[in-house]
Structure 1
Amino acid sequence: MADSQHNPKNRRQQANQMHNHSDDPTAMPPLPVQQPQQQPRNQSNNGHRKSASMNQPQSQDRNRRKNLGPRFQDESNESDSYGTLNPNFQFGARRRQTNNSISYGNHTPSQSLGGPAQIPQLGITPEQLLLQQQIEQLQHQQRALIQNQSQFIQQYDQQTLNSRMNPNANNPHIPNIPNIPNIPNNHRRIQSQQAPNMRMSGGNLTQYSPHSPNLYNPQGSPQMKNIPPKGHGRRHSVNVSKVTKDLNDFSFPPSNTVNKMPPQSAQSGHGRRISTGQAIQQPIPNNNQSGVPDLAQAQSQLASLAQFRVGVGAGGHNRAQSFAFPNSFQNMVAAASLSAALGGNQMGKFDNGINYALQQQQAFNLQIQQPSNHGGPQRKSLFAPYLPQASLPPLLTAGKLVVGMLRVNKRNRSDAYISTEVLDADVYICGSKDRNRALEGDIVAVELLNVDEVWGTKKEKEDKKRRKEENAQYDALRAINPSIETKQQAKNRDDVQVEGQGLFLIADEEVNDDQKPKYAGHVVAIVERMPGQLFSGTLGILRPSSAATKEKQDAERREREGGIPEAQEKPAQRPKIVWFKPTDKRVPLIAIPTEQAPKDFLSNSEHYQNQLFVSCIKRWPITSLHPFGTLVEKLGPIGDVQVETSALLKDSNATSSEDFPDSALRCLPALPWHIPQEEYGKRRDMRNERTFTIDPDTAKDLDDAVSVKVNSDDTYDITVSIADVSYFIKPNSPLDKDARKRATSVYLVQKALPMLPSILSSDLCSLLPDRERLAFSVTFTMDKDAKVLKTWFGRTIIKSCAQLSYGNAQNIIEGRQLDVVEGRKSDKYTSEEIGGDIKILYKLSQKMRQRRFDEGALKIQTMKLAFQLDEHGTPIDCMAYQSREANNLIEEFMLITNITVASEIAASLPEQSLLRRHEDPIPKRLDAFQERAKELGFDIDVSSSKALQSSFLAVEDEEARKMLQVLAVKGMCRAKYFCSGAIDISSYRHYALNVPLYTHFTSPIRRYADVVVHRQLQTVLEYGEEAEKNFQMDRETVAKTAQQCNVKKEASKQAQESSQHLYLCLLISDLTKRYGPVVRQATVIGVLDRAFDVLVNDMGIEKRVHVDQIPVNEHKYSEQHKTLDLYWKKGVDVISWLVENSSDGHLQCIQEAAQKHAPAHMTSRSTQDEQALFDESDSDESDEDNDYDNDNDMVNKKNNDMDTVQHNKSKLAYQPKYENVRVENGKYIQTIKDSMTVDIIVTADFSASPPILKCYCGNPFA
């Protein structure tokens, strides 16, 4: 394609769908759309913007690129399949006017976002401008006064500290400080959280407040006052002048607080690592005059914190050599955002003459003092205090700290990791002391430590625990009480439970016994708490560890004394707290006031053992090992479907309510609603176009439609119309705030929790057939090769003629007739006409898809479960969801629309565009996958997304390809929303789609990000080159919105998977009761020394089979061959053996079901049957066995009525065949190796919450 003539607005038309893109149109990959040789500039009668051709010669193209800033010069010089980047397209700076600018038509600013009730416009009168200038002068004078006052206060505080730390020294002269009021000695109440505006932005370094009323600020600078407190909203007393224990509380979000500290011990343990920052190009100006410390002061506080950590036993590590951060840009953004927040209105407020920032400085200074001047007993500090928020910007700027999101290892909560874009690998956090009360999902500031020392300390602690278990005294205790578990046994049990609470295996973290991390650190401050966290769990009187200890002591006493009558035991005192044990093992135990427990809890605690409650954390003092919380509600019994559904929504932090606040509902239009007459004049009328929707059969929120128009020159006008949701949701309205808080719809198995009220999602915004609807459309003019010649964007009015399902469209593609359900098609067009349009779309989509993969797009098809429910909502079947050609058709046009819109908004809003990116896989993980594939016998090229896709396509065996894709997913990163001005341009790229720019535009009914993008595109169409000044969200606000969408997107995904897990457990439990143990074939995808991983394709699950959970005499692992030899116990059934060696109640039920339905399942075999195990015959199916227990005719009748895939498989008399089995010297051996097929018994245990899905390997010699 020539560089001199192409359409700059349609340059990057390639796409692909990543494994975790359930939010994308049809969850698949994308493809490129090549540009025409030339396209004319034209303009519609409605005045909406069209892309224009570029007729400048190539030399002019190069000259224009010289005007780009150095930050984007390299990107501009790159060429791709669409030629060089548009010279008018600039990142990070406002786009300049050019002679080749594009016409915007005759729209006026009044034709803005939304309908009749327009938002305030940005035009200002001279009088307003003069008033603004006067306000700015007053603000300048105020800042000067604050600066002078802050200097006096700081000087006074320093002298006071010196006198306290050295009382024998002569007190220096204390200057006369005018206008400083006396500080009262009583408590002054403040929010127990960081200031609402003390939040950072940029990438994943910010947390978004869904309640902020000022996200749309016409003046471009967010107003932060009147923002409700985030987190758990706790208030507690803070005595600024006296040292009290309340000031050390961990809060949500945190406020740095003060407590009397115990004397510091001699220096030992770990010292801090030397700063790893690099020279900063331009220091961030300190515009805040409210007590924010400079770098020297902040470094002094950091040093004091290190000394304090040594004193409380938290340790510290010696500094390592300095080095340059691989990417310091994110630190700069975080520091700038925090600095801006510190200078906001909230931080400027004074209470009794003390500024909030100064108050934090005072609090921290008092925390690290020696407590010798204060009398009274002191509790030992277990954690270090947090650095003041005001100290973070200079330390981030200087590279002394990094900021990132914390995640806790699900298998071992002592290990945590910080994901940060500043470094090229995660930061390892070792133990609770270094994690310093941070929780999963928190944005934290971290100081790097010496990795070797951290790793040495970790190994030393593990060795100490191991030696303790191996000593003779511990063995003696186990002889007295065999129920005492070793650490390894307890860990194995916990691993089985954690692994069983999801559909897929937990990805093993990079840190293990053999490989130390690249970076290590400790948390010094919480930048942002995950807002509104709730946890499901159970209540107990004793802490679990205390209960275990008491049980052990009682057992020893009974053994020694022959038992003590209960009457002789002393009555226990009424406890002040009860213990909440969260379902999520990453969350610590929470202390709950006894008064909040049920009234009869202490006297009847056994009744509540199987009841689920909901709690939240309120505070976490540095003197407490566990946080304190509040009991929110009682959910109900464990195992109940409704209770478990409520619990999973709470634990995932997803939207849990189908109800909307009255304030949001009042924003909805009155019914019946009709399109206002003025909209017909503003929009392009497309009601006579043959437009139709293609969605899942049960879909109600129809937010995208397509149409085809064949032109006389053999080109096609393909129009993608998206529901114009932004018309109904006015910026910053209560409805908008609620939608922003929810951020996405949540799709569970049995129901959906919509982002918008049903009047919008299922009616006014849904593109129903034969209804006039407002839409936002993109029209692509394509040639017969699916190359885009020109593009048009604009608001329209459409009228769908048919509501088609994917099945309807698939019938047309496969040459069958279109059979539409009555009421879903207009009589205006025939089925043949609609069918003809589908064939044209399919033909074009195939070419687009092929070109997209040729250009390097990647598609990883992950397993997704689809369920069939009966009339009572009970699952009766499940199967792996299969994507077909009809899905791919819609996907291609949605992807090209998203890519085109991304290019359009990024060109005009370089600092404010809401985009979506997918980072390249972590090289270390990708190399590990390549090595793993090589062990399986596959040569996989991971050098690029294109190479990886080609390698997958080269694998002919479909099951092997699925297995490889499951393994590849573990090395991939999550796709994320971001603000274009908050991260470096080099991070914009979408790896899986292999495109430089991507966003979400096509699903505004279920994704708030799409609503924002609609507003951005409309601003670009209305204001053109002035769009950046007129868009009503600044960079920080867009970044916060992006992070909120990321958090809720991940929460929605987690809730969806948890719901699928719950319903799969329900199905397995029902199948077990009806037919006995559920046995399915599985593929081995990984072999370990004491376990092996399997993939059960029939149910879309990935599980780990542990050797200690099956009847084997011994096992031998070969590191060289990656095999595991199992030496089975002959004649021992797996379930029977488990029942004998476990107190697990649900296994007893499975055994009873197995005995009841023995003819249909694996049972003990005679010696004559043993040779059948080695039969190589292909015929392994048996006739259906109807010889069931006839005691319950209703069950049998229901069995016969259950004509589903899973029921039919369970009905069959299953005769398994085993691979790699042999008998040697009287030993019965099975060799487990990769890619082999094994028979797996799948069970569901509803005695825990969430239910535990377990897999056991069947015994070939039973």
Structure 2
Amino acid sequence: MLVGRKGDIFKALFRMNAHYRVEAYCKIDGIPVDVLIYGSASQNRAVEGDIVAMKMNPFSLWSRMKGTSEAHDNMHSLEDANVMSDSFWSSPSVDPIGRICAVIDLFPTKRPTGKVVAILKKSRQRGTIVGHLNVKKFLSFHDCGYVQLMPNDAKFPTMMVCAVDLPDCIKKRLDNGDATVESELVAARIDEWLEESSAPKALVMYVLGRGSRIESHIDAILFQNAILTCEFSRDSLSCLPHTPWKIPQEELQCRRDLRNLCIFTIDPPSALDLDDAFSVQKLANGIFRVGIHVADVSHFVLPDTALDKEARIRSTSVYLLRRKIPMLPPLLSENIGSLNPGVDRLAFSLFLDINHCGDVEDCWIGRTVICSCCKLSYGHAQDIIDSSKVLGHCVPQLHGQSTWLDIISSVRTLNEISKTLKEKRFRDGALRIENPKIVFLYDEFGIPYDSTFHEQKDSNFLVEEFVLLANRTVAEVISRTFPDRALLRRHPKPIFKKLTEFESFCSKQGFELDTSSSFLFQQSLEQIRMKFHDDPLLFDAVISYATRSTQLASYFCNGELKDGENGSYYSLAVPLYTHFTSPLRRYADIVVHRTLAAAVEAEELYLKHQSDERMRCFTGMYFDKDAADSLEGREALSSAALRHGVPCSKLLSDVAAHCNSRKLASKHATDACDKLYMWALLKEKQILFSDAKVLGLGSKFMTLYIQKLAIERRIYYEEVKGLAIEWLDATSTLVLSFPDTRRSHGSRDSIKCKALEDVALVISPCDLTVKQSTLEGEASTEGAAASDSGIIEPAVFPLTVQLLSTLPVALHAVGGDDGAIEIGVRLYMSSYLR
């Protein structure tokens, strides 16, 4: 967004480079590359997440894109010089964004640069700083001294804390000379950053606990992401019915009764909030009627009540590895709203008539009463799919009239239909790019002692396909019924620059890759997988690289979609999508339920006054636009929208923005928790060995995909004492060796140099004794290892490295009491010259 009259000042989001804080970047809509903000003076006290006014520098101050040479620029003729003229930059007839894009097109090796001239909106992250105090140079707080606060997030600068403002518990420990204060994690906020100050002033609010404890970091994660953990308010709880609760008679009369239908849930074994259930019936002509039944949470959460407001604030349930922070009170999310087996429950049901090709020939949508006959886990469903026997030793309880033969038949039928749907979806252009998911195993104290990879099985895909189909169907209904006030979800195409980098990476390795469409992208990845089926590490590494280009999906209001703006869902290759199937844990789904309920009710109101015998005009396979545009139709839709609290476009856009913000916070919390438990696992093992693939390589560092933990990490080897580096630019080859076997480049200042132990774990072959075990590294020295696929052997010097080389690495836990936690990685080497 342009905020300056001269066309050189823009509104932008400020992002800091965590690896090199001298560099920050601003993202401006419409400009294909981020603008570099170099140096503290240009950054002007902005911090990560601020919305800033950024002034674009003249072209003469633009920097060169990394990885390019000056020779590229010499390809341009002098005819391009008119683009650099003053008249070009100052002309009011030239769109400022278009002007910058034109220059970028002419000079693709140049990166725009700028400087922050104002902070328009301060980042929420300013109020959620977590870190450690550095009190080594502490002056007595009686003398108005300051202590340093070292944030755990490297994107934030070191901060100063006035000692007199420290919490009393910390001041008392400082008075007693307790140096362990530095081991405590503290929660703080940035109070101010004066123009004449080199560092911001912060206020420590409270102590989270020792940095070596998992619980302290969990609290820190929740604080950093502003996730509410307090109990639900009395006003919210008062909105719920008293227990024991029974479905009111008036609801039984106005809903379709499905309690005699064989309906069941499929969820993780520990799940308590059961959102969706399934059924299937065989009709004539090879048609199957699939039922997707979703908890009718909107019946309990009425618009603008205290419960609705609190659910909207929380927006989503947050799932950490061993803890859930619910969006709704457990009485609702785990009891009266959950589709528990053997009890009558309110539902919103979709019946989809599906033919043998996977096409939906007809559908019915409405509010129902169901009674689930069984709670299946994914394991139970998989047992049914895989074998002729009913189930294993742990058989879930059966309720109602349905038999095990009914459930077995239904699960297998649904599985076959889901396979057809999945095949059709990928033929239509769906794309799946996902990194492997780690699952941790815990001891009796909740400490991880091992890990494995989560395997997606047919039972998982069964549920996924019908959830996707239900969400697509509802998106179509609400978007055409309410074309300016439906909450939808979109997924943009991959980031162009990063996708281009991935294409270049694949081209250099001889991989054929076509990303011109999601269908061809998926086909290319599948061909790479088939070609290297005997090297799963390579394919996982390629997928990890591919995920860098993907963008996050987001909610939006269709009424706020600008002309030419795309609201489709790229990875699913569908024009319309929404979230409908998880209302117990996502507020967006509750809003969609209300909109769908309004569509169903408006249809009923309209058809009451019609002489013909049409069954559906708004929620069926075909939408009657004439009915919707008629006076009776408009009145019915308006009345139903008012009754069910369907927001206007502006309010719905605000809801969408808040849901996006909280969903992103939830994702950050989940990712941070995964990293925390990886760290705890490494801390327990001390060393974990793994194979790794080289995804990026240069003269200063390499980027590795580490198989064991399915993560990427860097190893920096510039200026390492005892290590000689030779970078062969022509072949993009790195050679690492000891100085006495290969001449080192340049002189090394021993004070600035890193120790060899920081980048490589080097053991003597004489000391190497290996004990093979799953995800465990133990040895008589600091250097033996094992993996699921066998022993990890150390490499030897001199080490020649190229892209996609496989290298052994040693992983270890970094930080805790003495700083931010991190997954440390070193090369795993063997040498007699150790």
* TM-score bracket, shorter-length normalisation: 0.7 to 0.9
Match of 1:778, SS?
strand
Pick one of 658, 667, 674 that aligns with 1:1053: 667
- CA distance, structure 1, for counterparts of residue 64 and residue 16 of structure 2: 21
In the TM superposition, residue 1088 of structure 1 has moved relative to its aligned partner by 2.0
Out of 713, 723, 729, the position equivalent to 1:1103 is: 713
CA contact (8 A) 1:425 1:519 kept: no
AA of the residue aligned to 1:1116:
E
* Structure 2 contact 133–147 (Cα < 8 Å) conserved: yes
Q: In the alignment, what sits opposite 2:180?
A: 607
Q: Which residue of the partner structure matches residue 595 of structure 2?
A: 1016
> Unpaired runs of 5+ in structure 2?
67-103, 604-627, 629-633, 742-749
The answer on 1:892 being equivalent to 2:478 is no
- Residues 318-354 of structure 1 deviation map (CA, whole Å, 9 limit, x = unaligned): x7xx7xxxxxxxxxxxxxxxxxxxxxxxxxxxxxxxx
Structure 2 contact 485–646 (Cα < 8 Å) conserved: no
Q: Is the 8 A contact 2:32 2:497 kept in 1?
A: no
* Structure 2 letter corresponding to 1:701: D
- Pairwise CA distance, 1:588: 3.5
Q: Is the Cα–Cα contact under 8 Å of residues 646 and 656 in structure 1 kept in the other structure?
A: no
Alignment partner for residue 516 of structure 2, among 935, 938, 943?
943
Tell me, yes or no, if the aligned pair for 1:1128 and 1:1230 is still in contact at 8 Å.
no
Residue among 774, 777, 781 paired with 2:353? 781
Instruction: Give me the whole-angstrom Cα distance separating, in 2, the residues matched to 1:1211 and 1:809.
Output: 27
CA distance in 2, matches of 1:1215, 1:1051: 37
Instruction: For residue 992 of structure 1, report the CA deviation from its aligned partner.
Output: 1.0
Q: Give the whole-Å Cα distance in 1 for the aligned partners of 2:824 and 2:179.
A: 27
Matched residue type, 1:692: F
Counterpart for residue 1120 of structure 1: 730
> Which position in structure 2 is the counterpart of 1:534?
128
Q: Does 2:811 match 1:1232? A: no
TM-score by length of 1: 0.54
Task: Work out whether residues 771 and 779 of structure 2, in 8 Å CA contact, stay in contact via their aligned partners in 1.
Answer: no
Cα displacement string for residues 182-211 of structure 1 (whole angstroms, at most 9, x for unaligned residues): xxxxxxxxxxxxxxxxxxxxxxx9xxxxxx
Tell me if the contact between 2:720 and 2:754 (Cα under 8 Å) persists in the aligned partners.
Answer: no
Which residue number in structure 2 is paired with residue 977 of structure 1?
A: 555
CA distance in 2, matches of 1:602, 1:733: 48
Change (3 A) 1:1258 1:842: same
Deviation of the 1:1032 alpha carbon: 3.8
In 2, Cα distance between equivalents of 1:645 and 1:519:
38
* Matched-pair contact (CA < 8 Å) for 2:264–2:278: yes
Give the alignment partner of residue 569 of structure 2, picking from 985, 990, 998. 990
Write the deviation string for residues 1045-1086 of structure 1: whole angstroms up to 9, x where unpaired: 1111111111111111111111122123xxxx3222222222
Structure-2 change in CA distance of 1:1252 and 1:424 (3 Å): closer
**TM-score, normalised on structure 2?**
0.80
Once residues 56 and 354 of structure 2 are traced to their aligned partners in structure 1, the CA distance between those partners, rounded to angstroms, is 54
How much does 1:403 deviate? Answer: 3.7
Of residues 774, 793, 809, the one that matches 1:1216 is: 793
Shift of 1:619: 4.0
Partner of 2:656: 1042
Distance 2:146 2:115 in 1: 34
User: What is the CA–CA distance in structure 1 between the aligned matches of 2:752 and 2:63, rounded to whole Å?
Assistant: 36
Maintained 8 Å contact 2:52/2:121: yes
C-alpha change, 1:888 and 1:773, in structure 2 (3 Å) is same
Are 2:834 and 1:1261 equivalent residues in the alignment?
no
**Structure 1 equivalent of residue 624 of structure 2:** none
Report the counterpart of residue 126 of structure 1 in structure 2. Answer: none
Aligned to 2:291: 719
Q: Deviations over 1:1227-1262 (max 9, x none)?
A: x41211222322111111234444221111111324
Q: Which position in structure 2 is the counterpart of 1:581?
A: 150
User: Could you say which residue in structure 1 is the equivalent of 2:58?
Assistant: 450
Amino acid in structure 2 at the alignment position of 1:996: P
How far did residue 710 of structure 1 move?
1.1
Give the partner amino acid of 1:1216: E
CA contact (8 A) 2:763 2:829 kept: no
- Aligned pairs (5 A) from 1:322-361: none
CA distance in 2, matches of 1:1217, 1:615: 43
Give the counterpart letter for 1:405 in structure 2: L
Deviation at 1:662, TM superposition (A): 2.7
2:483 alignment partner in structure 1: 910
User: Residue 937 and residue 656 in structure 1: after superposition, are their counterparts in 2 closer, same or farther (change >3 A)?
Assistant: farther
Deviations 1:679-731 (A, max 9, x none): 11121111111111111122111111111011134311111111111111121
CA distance in 2, matches of 1:696, 1:1248: 38
Residue number in structure 2 paired with 1:1244: 813
Residue aligned with 2:286, SS: coil
Change (3 A) 1:794 1:863: same
Give the secondary structure class of the aligned counterpart of 1:688.
coil
In structure 1, what is the equivalent of residue 91 of structure 2? none
Q: Which residue of 222, 235, 245 maps to 1:649?
A: 222
Cα distance 1:527–1:669, how it changes in 2: closer, same or farther (>3 A)?
same
Q: Which amino acid aligns with 1:921?
A: P
| Displacement after TM superposition at 1:404 (Å) | 4.2
CA distance in 2: counterparts of 1:990 and 1:1215, whole angstroms? 42
**Deviation per CA, 1:1135-1194, whole angstroms, max 9, x where unpaired?**
xxxxx999999x89x99xx9xxxxxxx952259x9xx9xxxxxxx99699x99999xxxx
Which residues in structure 2 correspond to 1:196-345 (within 5 Å)? none
3-state secondary structure, aligned to 1:850? helix
Report if the CA contact (8 A) 2:779-2:785 is conserved: no
Q: Find the aligned partners of 1:824 and 1:1143 in 2 and give their Cα distance.
A: 65
| Number of residue pairs matched by the alignment | 733
Aligned 1:485-500 pairs, distance under 5 A: none
| 1:418 equivalent in structure 2 | 26
- Shift, 1:983, TM fit: 2.8
Q: Is the 8 A contact 1:1071 1:1078 kept in 2?
A: yes
| Contact map agreement 1:1128 1:1259 (CA 8 A) in 2 | no
- Counterpart-to-counterpart distance in 2, 1:915 and 1:403: 26
Give the aligned residue type for 2:20.
Answer: N
Q: Do residues 961 (structure 1) and 539 (structure 2) align?
A: yes
Matched position secondary structure for 1:609 = helix
* 1:800 counterpart residue number: 372
Stretches of structure 1 that go unaligned for 5 or more consecutive residues are 1-204, 206-276, 278-298, 304-318, 323-399, 459-509, 551-569, 1132-1139, 1155-1161, 1173-1179, 1191-1206, 1222-1227
Name 2:432's counterpart in structure 1.
Answer: 859
Tell me the alpha carbon deviations over residues 954-976 of structure 1, each in whole angstroms, 9 at most, x when there is no partner.
02223322211110111121111
Asked if structure 1 preserves the Cα contact closer than 8 Å seen for 2:477 and 2:596, the reply is: yes
Separation in 2 of the partners of 1:1188 and 1:448? 55
- 1:865-920 Cα offsets, whole Å, 9 max, x none, are 11111222111221122211111111111111111111111112222221111111
d(CA) in 2 for partners of 1:983 and 1:404?
Answer: 20
Once residues 1080 and 700 of structure 1 are traced to their aligned partners in structure 2, the CA distance between those partners, rounded to angstroms, is: 36
Q: Secondary structure at the match of 2:677?
A: helix
Report deviation, 1:1011.
1.2
Quote the residue 1:407 is aligned against. Answer: 15
| 8 Å contact from structure 2 (residues 507, 513) kept in 1 | yes
Partner of 1:1258: helix, strand, or coil?
Answer: strand
1:988 CA displacement: 0.5
Counterpart-to-counterpart distance in 1, 2:561 and 2:593: 22
Equivalent residues in 2 for 1:1020-1099, closer than 5 Å: 1020-1023=599-602, 1025=628, 1026=634, 1027=637, 1030=642, 1031-1072=645-686, 1077-1099=687-709
* Secondary structure of residue in 2 paired with 1:1011: helix
Identity across matched positions, percent: 30
Shift of 1:631: 2.4
Task: Determine the structure 2 residue equivalent to 1:327.
Answer: none
CA offsets 1:251-285 (integer angstroms, 9 cap, x no match):
xxxxxxxxxxxxxxxxxxxxxxxxxx7xxxxxxxx
Taking structure 1 as reference, are residues 1165 and 427 closer, same or farther at Cα in structure 2, changes over 3 Å only? Answer: closer
Residue 405 of structure 1: CA displacement?
3.2
Following the alignment from structure 2 to structure 1, what is the Cα–Cα distance between the partners of residues 788 and 421? 45
The CA distance in 1 between the partners of 2:778 and 2:670, in whole Å, is: 36
Question: How far apart in 1 are the matches of 2:249 and 2:773?
Answer: 68
Query: Post-superposition shift, 1:587?
Result: 2.5
